[in-house]
Amino acid sequence: MSFYGFARGLVNGVAHLLFRVKIVGVENVPKDENFVICSNHKSNFDPIMVGISMPVELKFMAKEELFRFKPVAKLISALGAFPVKRGKSDVAALKSAIGALKSGGSLAVFPEGRRSPKTHLGQGKGGAALIALKAGVNILPVGINGRYGLFSKITVNIGKPIDLSQYFGTKVDSDTIKSITDDMLMPAISMLSGVPTYEEAVQKELRGSF
């Protein structure tokens, strides 16, 4: 058994002791292809929930601050994480992500880029769609619902893959990335998590101001 498999089993056991974890939609996980998993991001526990819900080994994009403490850096690197500079154009991280996918792995990305507000999702960033298109893979949306608290119920809803094959081999432009992110990806995550999108929250606020 790989270290990833051992660690996943251990963490899965601990998570089920701390929370009442329910995983829905495992049958939607592609069996013969790799993909980019995209989930909402409400807590630091989210990468754990995504990891234990997937029957395949994953790579993770993690904020570079986590790699400053060497013992933690070694552990999360062994678990498939690699650093990314938040709020900046990190070419090295993008190349690592695309390379991992092209080599046959699957990658977990939180498209909001940071933890979301309590009332709605954060605005989706285009990195996840860009990576998927460059690597020629589809996106698997995931929604995490519930409150993290001792013995509280956490549900991980795995949706059907977002088929991007019509874009493979075509020019990847900013309009395409924005359309995939705003019109396909974030609404799917919203539906699965039960949390309104950023755009829905803005519209609600605007209606309330009149």
* Tens digit of each residue's pLDDT (9 = 90 or more) over 51-109: 999 999 899 887 778 788 787 777 777 777 777 776 556 788 888 889 989 999 999 99
> What pLDDT does 153 receive?
96
Tens-place pLDDT, residues 17-31 = 999 999 999 999 998
Through-space distance between the first and last CA atoms of the chain, rounded to whole angstroms: 60
Please report, for the domain that includes residue 101, its CATH number: 3.40.1130.10
Question: What domain count does the chain have?
Answer: 1
In the chain, the DSSP E strands lie at 20-24, 35-39, 58-63, 81-84, 106-109, 138-146, 153-158
> Rounded to whole angstroms, how far apart are CA atoms 35 and 40?
17
> What pLDDT does 200 receive?
87
pLDDT level of residue 203 (50, 70, 90 thresholds): confident
Counting every residue written for the chain, the total comes to 210
Three-class SS of residue 12?
Answer: helix
Average pLDDT value for the chain: 89
pLDDT level of residue 154 (50, 70, 90 thresholds): very high
> What pLDDT does 61 receive?
80
pLDDT level of residue 169 (50, 70, 90 thresholds): confident
pLDDT: which is higher, 7 or 128:
128
> What pLDDT does 202 receive?
81
> Among 172, 170, 190, which residue's Cα sits nearest to residue 182?
190
Q: What is the pTM of this model?
A: 0.89
Structural domain containing residue 191: 3-208
> Rounded to whole angstroms, how far apart are CA atoms 188 and 18?
28
Looking only at the bridges linking them, the beta strands covering 153-158 and 138-146 are antiparallel
Place of tokens 């790799």: 34
pLDDT: which is higher, 187 or 14:
187
The least confident of 119-123, 135-139, 198-202 is: 198-202
Q: Are 143 and 41 in contact (CB under 8 A)?
A: no
User: What residues does 109 pair with on adjacent strands?
Assistant: 38
